[in-house]
Structure 1
Amino acid sequence: MSSSNPLRQFVIKVNRYPSWLSRRLLTWLFRSKVKLVGTVGLEILKTDLKSVVFRQKNRKKVQNHIGSVHAAGMALLAESATGFIVGVNLPGDKLPLMKSMNLKYVKRASGDMQAVAELSDEQLAMLQRDEKGEVTVKVTVTDAANIEPVVCEMIWAWIPKNQKK
């Protein structure tokens, strides 16, 4: 039987609030746990526990030499969105771990960036059922013109928390 997940319980609770408030609370919680996310200013716009939408504003702090969001910023955006959706769907006694990420930068980005990460019903069942395993999380990163400048493959693994070394 799976153990309770405090992150999931928090998300369920704050999703009952108005969207402007739930966005702020989700973002605040995630930034408090993943400090780099707060440093670069990632925001969680919404989640239904099967998918999540993250945003990276194109601010001076995260820009590259041509004025768009830095490649590392795009990678963090995709990694954060996929990690969040895996994290809220694992039982509380499991530890999510990034196994691999493959990013192909295919077009020049402009403006703010957005990442949408989602899990299928089959993947959700596997996260709940299997003691340990891995999952490739679908994530789409787009810019302000709705162009996909980077194609991402993010593979997450999980293990029992008492197994970490």
Structure 2
Amino acid sequence: MEYKKNSMSRIADKASRLPEGLRSFVLTRLFGRLVPFLGTAGLCFVEVGHERLTVSLQNRRKVQNHIKGVHAAAMALLAETASGFVVGMNVPDSKLMLLKSMHVDYLKRSQGSMKATAILTPDQIRRMHEEEKGDAAIEVVVTDESGESPIRCEMIWAWVPKKRA
């Protein structure tokens, strides 16, 4: 599938030309400029693509709850960030993307650091380019160091024209 470029995907393309060891650091810094809260929370971009995007979060004091696990709000942020940025890699610059709904079920206690991987289908990507406005439920898998999923979530992202008619 050939992907249409937008400002976010052009940033990722430039970073992809860097040595592998620098890519994650540079993408995390650049995307952190777009959304400053990401740096505050300490999220790290691990894999960035049009169909799949992975973000990680280290279990450190700043993001812990009272039992030394990753805080529930930080887990939700991780899922929201992965889903939002994979949508952002595809929505044309002429459209505004908005989180329409976030549903998170907390299933079990997390163990250690976490990562979230959001996946788009080719049909969802096509719709983002062809439909003036719409929405899509984005698949996000959040896992902890054990490889288990302590949360199950559904993120619904919408897109609308930037300029109202």
TM over 0.5: yes
The residue that corresponds to 2:121 in the other structure is 120
Cross-structure match for 1:155: 156
For structure 2, the residue ranges without an aligned partner over 5 or more in a row are none
Tell me, which stretches of 5 or more residues in structure 1 are unaligned? none
Per-residue deviation at 1:4? 5.3
Counterpart code for 1:111: G
* Paired residue secondary structure (1:163): coil
Question: Equivalent residues in 2 for 1:7-156 (5 A)?
Answer: 7-156=8-157
Q: Give the deviation of 1:163 after TM superposition.
A: 2.8
Q: Deviations over 1:7-62 (max 9, x none)?
A: 11111221122222111111011111112111110000112221011000001000
**Partner Cα distance (1:157, 1:23) in 2:** 27
Aligned residues: 162
**Contact residue 49 and residue 89 of structure 2 kept, 8 A:** no
Cα shift readout 1:62-117 (whole Å, capped 9, x = no counterpart) = 00001000000000000000000001101111111000000000011010010000
Runs of 4+ with deviation above 3 angstroms: none
Identity of aligned residues (%): 44
Q: Helix, strand or coil for the counterpart of 1:21?
A: helix
Give, in whole Å, the separation in 1 of the partners of 2:24 and 2:94: 26
Q: In structure 2, how many angstroms separate the alpha carbons of the residues matched to 1:137 and 1:50?
A: 11
Give the equivalent residue in structure 2 for 1:6. Answer: 7
What is the rounded CA distance, in whole Å, between the counterparts of 2:10 and 2:31 in structure 1? 14
Instruction: Give the TM-score, by structure 2 length.
Output: 0.94
User: SS of 2:69's equivalent?
Assistant: coil
The separation in 2 between residues aligned to 1:49 and 1:12, in whole angstroms, is 11
Other structure's SS at 1:69 match = coil
SS at match of 1:99: strand
Letter in 1 for 2:75: M
The whole-number CA distance in structure 2 between the counterparts of 1:163 and 1:74 is 34
